[in-house]
Amino acid sequence: MLNIKKVGHAGTLDPMATGVLPIAVGEATKCISFVQEKNKKYSFTVKWGERTETDDSEGKVIQKSDNRPTEDQILKVISSFLGEIFQKPPIYSAIKINGQRSYKLARKKIFVEHKLRSVKIHKLILKKIPNNDCAHFEVTCSKGTYIRSLARDIAEKLNTTGHISALRRLSVGNFVEKNTIFMDFSNEIIHSPSVLNNILPIEAVLDDIPALPITKHEARKLKLGQKIQLNSLEFKNKFITLYPCYNKFKKICAINDNHLVALIEIEEGLVKPKRIINY
């Protein structure tokens, strides 16, 4: 739609899910990995009493339970899911097994037992109980968290069964719902100037990464792929004062005039360009 050759997305959404999906265009595709590392926030609804093969409402019901949890029981159980937890991804997931997606194998009735994965649940809130059969939640979690698995495990711990009946991603890092562009692929999107106002600069995804200020001359060297002695940089003292432990960071932004020049590494006193950004 934007007549740009390179486009990429940062994190898949479940087929039934809605919400925030960061899309990188042009040179921003070089920074997708930084978006993928950020925490995510979801709202989701669990329907009690039925477990499905996909752990959401699109799958076949494979187990039922007449047990319905009370509000007190739910509140007590969800507190045990905070912090680092181990969860088993759904068999209907995009995880690759010997080069094939798990969900494709599952559709062929080839079921693989996934290993437990470590994820972090930073916040888990019970938002509302509209009736005995379901409950609305909100969660902030690390990358790699499967909300369908979380819902399944919450239900199991409540001595019942359950599956996701609604799922919406509210944010990915600093990409939030209120700034989204509705991607209905209509002519209105392509020809609307207001859409372009919502496209954020590359620097927006690097707000939590150390920034090394450099001059125009130093920027030119990095763009040519040249290494530079850290001690020779004009603003090295300012940078070292702000980031005395800069050696701990795998990637650092080289910035000139508030624009990203390159993603760099600093090793043995040398500034090494790793990804050049060409505006």
Active site residues: 14
Residue in the block written with tokens 């909100």: 138
**Chain Cα centroid distance, residue 27:** 19
| Cα 271 to Cα 230: distance, rounded to the nearest angstrom | 6
- In the chain, the amino acid numbered 166 is A
Contacts of residue 241, defined as CB under 8 A and 6 or more positions apart, other chains included, come to: none
| Cα 268 to Cα 262: distance, rounded to the nearest angstrom | 19
Q: 145-157: buried (b, 16+ CB within 10 Å) or exposed (e) per residue?
A: bbbbbbbbbbbeb
For residue 12, give both structure tokens: 């898949």
CB 50 within 8 A of CB 56: no
